[in-house]
Structure 1
Amino acid sequence: MPSFTVRESLYHARPDVFDLVADIERYPDFVPGWKEARILWEKENRRSVEQAVGIYSFVWRFRTEAVLERPHQIRIEGGGGPLRRLHQVWRFEEREPNETLVELWTEYALRGGPAAAAAGPFFRRRTEEVVSSFRRRADAVLGASG
């Protein structure tokens, strides 16, 4: 299964960055291509989410279950649409009081077919765009980075 890691430094406090990433229902407001994110259930530090993302004319629905370990990491498992399996881990490493290294590790398996063929080449680039979207969102919500 393909896997990769995307890293970016955000010049904001780790708990604040964690909270922005954990607020999944806001993703359609600022992440390109994110059409919908709805929490189906939540209990303690676990949640199940139904999501829809789109690339060009394709829109894929999938579900994930996440374990939130504030402020250190978020572990995600899921599938649906062109994804047979999705495993992601968001890590938040405090570098300085107002600098957080955000790391998103992703491993995935595609189901095949035309939708998967379209999704495969864009998966890493879209993940890079997601992480960059969080930098822009953090700057907008928490104040300009330094």
Structure 2
Amino acid sequence: MPRHHETRELPYSAEQMFALVTDIARYPEFLPWVVALRVRSQDEHAALADMIVGFKGLRESFSCRVEKHRPTHVAVHYIDGPMRHLDNEWHFAPLDGGGCRVDFLVDFSFRNRVFETLAGQMFDKALRRMIAAFEDRAAVLYGAGSSMSSDDGRSESFSG
């Protein structure tokens, strides 16, 4: 059962990152493998969505509930689909010098053992690609930010 935690310091505010992560209707525009997404309901505190993901001819759909705790926390809970379970969380904490610390946690397992094995083999690479997509989207929306330069002491890669 794949489980992963990433931490990153970014030059964007906690509110900006919260807004990016909770704008789930836009996921098909920038997230790899997200083919389509339908928001069934949404308000200030929660959203219910159906997502179709695809990879090399395989397509699966699933539903999830997104809990929003502005601007510090987003939790995604799996409702139904091909998985046994899926939970992910985003935590955003302001940094003293500006920007924010982003903690991302994901834990999932598939019902199908073949999918589970494939996911385990590709999990790290796929996860890093998806996290990079969020970071790239932030740069597009909010600017690249000078605090991302390699000479400012911040890590340019995630640590797990």
What's the offset of the Cα at 1:53? 1.4
Q: What is the match of residue 7 of structure 1?
A: 7
**Larger C-alpha radius of gyration, 1 or 2?**
2
User: Which stretches in structure 1 are left out of the alignment for 5+ residues?
Assistant: none
Q: What is the match of residue 134 of structure 2?
A: 134
Contact 1:40 1:48 in 2 (8 A): yes
What is the correspondence of 1:1-146 to structure 2 with a 5 Å cutoff?
A: 1-96=1-96, 98-146=98-146
- Bigger shift: residues 112-121 or 48-57: 112-121
- Bigger shift: residues 82-91 or 96-105: 96-105
Name the count of aligned residue pairs.
146
What's the offset of the Cα at 1:138? 0.8
Under a length normalisation based on structure 2, what TM-score does the superposition of the two structures give?
0.81
Report the AA paired with residue 10 of structure 1: L
Q: Distance in 2 between matches of 1:123 and 1:81?
A: 18
Give me the CA root mean square deviation. Answer: 1.8
What's the offset of the Cα at 1:139? 0.8
Q: Distance in 1 between matches of 2:137 and 2:117?
A: 30
Q: Distance in 2 between matches of 1:68 and 1:48?
A: 11
Change (3 A) 1:59 1:98: farther
User: Which stretches in structure 2 are left out of the alignment for 5+ residues?
Assistant: 147-160
| Identity across the alignment (%) | 25
Change (3 A) 1:83 1:123: farther
